[in-house]
Amino acid sequence: MNIMKTLINLEYSRYDLSRRGKHYSLFAALTIIFLLFITGLNLKGTHVSERAPFIYASMLLWSVVTILSAVHMVTFKSLSHRDWILSFPHSRLKLLYAQLFSLLRHSLNITLAVLAAAGILYYYSVRAGWYQPLTASGLLYLFSANTLFILAFLPLAVTFGLGVSLFLRSRPGALLLFPYLMMWMFPFIAESALGSANQDFYTSAASSPGRVLLAALVLCLAGWPLCHLLMKLIAAKGMNAAAASDRLSAARTASVRPGFRTLRMKSGSGSAGRLAPYLLLYRLHISRVHRIEKHLAIRILKLIVPLLIAAVVYLGFALEEEVVILDFIKPLFALLVMLGSIWMPLRTGIERKQLPWLLGFPQSRLALLLSGVAVVWTTVMRALSALMLSACAGSVTALLAGRTGIEEWSHSISWVLYSFLLSALALTVILCLLQIEYCTLKLKVLNIVMIPVAMLGPLHSFLLNRFMYSGLHSGASPDFRLLGLTALIALPVALCCIPAGAAYYHMSLIQPAGKKTRSKQA
């Protein structure tokens, strides 16, 4: 037991916010509570039932915990001390359980903040007169039921996130990666797709505290044994996949750098010559993405997913459910933007291992930083464009087949185009704002700004639904003037973050040394 406790503490210390400062954890918790409270005020369900704040808390925790666990497993293979951890004289299942329990501890910390925000939101809603207050026993029953439900699904969410390694193990397994990613955001996709009908759910018997307690019991009896079986599978297959993919990446490194030298010899002069260094850096970074896209499974996904989306859009028009189509497309746009916002800091952490080599290039730090941002932006934009074109293809097919009229078609297409442009704007702004991370290495006070910026990715869809999609279900046309005004204000502010981050880009070399010093002192 002492050995397991030591392993858990070791894993937990990797993401311990107290290492950044004495009161940093408290400040981060208060910031999260405040942001979640403000977001909850703008959700329609909050005005309907006293159960809504706690239902939203469960939905948010499922997505956040699953995503954080998956990011942890993906980055595990790039950690410099990974081989050191795997060399411990313990089974991989035991090491994996140490990671699970450490992630559960972090998840419980997040749960406390989310439940506190839900409680404050309930109190504010009652004071605002949105619904009648519950009795003390009724409120305690509601709070306890939802808390037990959250505690019941947290192990399942962590295990589900760690299971991402199984889909990276082989090409056939990658075919299931897309539906697996969709499961991350399934609660929000379902909530958005139901539209106005979801407001009846908040007051129905299905969301009553008694049913919630029953669901918690089912998760404990059926979900937890399933977690153990999945953990055994991850330990046997998933962790091996991480090591194998890392060896393959190392074997290919030699073939990438000579290619870079060859491309440099072909650079021209004039304006093309001035752009050549940046383009070469971009091609160097994007080559890793292209290698992944060459996998047979990814090619199959790129063929199947657009066809499925086009088919769903066609059926939506055929069934005269245009609003449902938009509620289906909108979360997909939000999912891609969220994945891009997660990929950017993830890529930044991995890039630090190669930073001494990159800074050795005779190029500006702005070009180095901008090329990395461009890789994430162009990759996600290609996915957004494919999604939009697939929806347009399905709608045009429905129009030509006589399944919809020109007026309904033009109204739906205008909303699809509006959603695409809004998602592109959100992606650009979030990726640029995330470059403030480099400034925090020099100016610690900017950590105050970094926490809400980091939450923009997971929570941006709430803000867009509240302020940018207000006329979607009322039959109104999209407000492109509001979109243009938002872009006019947000883009200049966001773009200023790139040169600001480039000024402190080299500070990433100093950060690992600081972490080592703190760990030695501990």
Mean pLDDT by 10 residues, the chain (522 residues): 80 73 73 79 73 87 86 69 69 85 90 91 86 86 92 91 75 63 69 57 78 91 89 79 48 45 45 61 80 73 84 82 74 84 73 70 80 89 92 89 84 89 93 85 72 77 77 79 92 89 75 44 42
Taking the CA atoms of residue 161, residue 163, residue 168 and residue 170 in that order, the dihedral angle to the nearest 10 degrees is -160
pLDDT of residue 155: 93
284 plus 348 within the same structural domain = no
Residues 6+ apart with CB under 8 A from 17: 24, 25, 28
- Asked if 473 and 195 touch (Cβ cutoff 8 Å), the reply is yes
Residues 6+ apart with CB under 8 A from 234: 96, 159, 162, 163, 165, 166
pLDDT of residue 267: 44
Burial 18-56, CB ≥16 within 10 A → b, else e: eeeeeebeeebbebbbebbbebbeebbbbebbbbbbbbb
Residue 141 lies in a domain: yes
213 plus 302 within the same structural domain = no
Residue 252 lies in a domain: no
127 plus 167 within the same structural domain = yes
Measured CA to CA in angstroms, residue 129 lies from 43, 54, 55, 440 at distances of: 16, 18, 20, 42
- Asked if 243 and 175 touch (Cβ cutoff 8 Å), the reply is no
How many domains in the chain?
3
Residue 83 lies in a domain: yes
Residue keyed to tokens 């595990």: 76
206 plus 326 within the same structural domain = no
Residue 253 lies in a domain: no
CA distance linking residue 281 with residue 25, whole number of Å: 37
242 plus 381 within the same structural domain = no
356 plus 373 within the same structural domain = yes
- Domain around 500: 295-521
266 plus 299 within the same structural domain = no
Element containing residue 208 per DSSP (H, E): none
Question: What is the pTM assigned to this prediction?
Answer: 0.65
- Asked if 446 and 437 touch (Cβ cutoff 8 Å), the reply is no
Task: Say which amino acid occupies 344.
Answer: M
SS3 for 172-194, per residue? HHHCCHHHHHHHHCHHHHHHHHH
pLDDT of residue 254: 44
Residue 508 lies in a domain: yes
Residues 6+ apart with CB under 8 A from 111: 61, 150, 151, 154
73 plus 218 within the same structural domain = yes
196 plus 303 within the same structural domain = no
Residue 302 lies in a domain: yes
414 plus 449 within the same structural domain = yes
pLDDT of residue 190: 64
- Asked if 404 and 315 touch (Cβ cutoff 8 Å), the reply is no
219 plus 368 within the same structural domain = no
389 plus 348 within the same structural domain = yes
Q: What is the DSSP string of 16-61?
A: -GGGG-TTHHHHHHHHHHHHHHHHHHT-GGGGT-TTHHHHHHHHHH
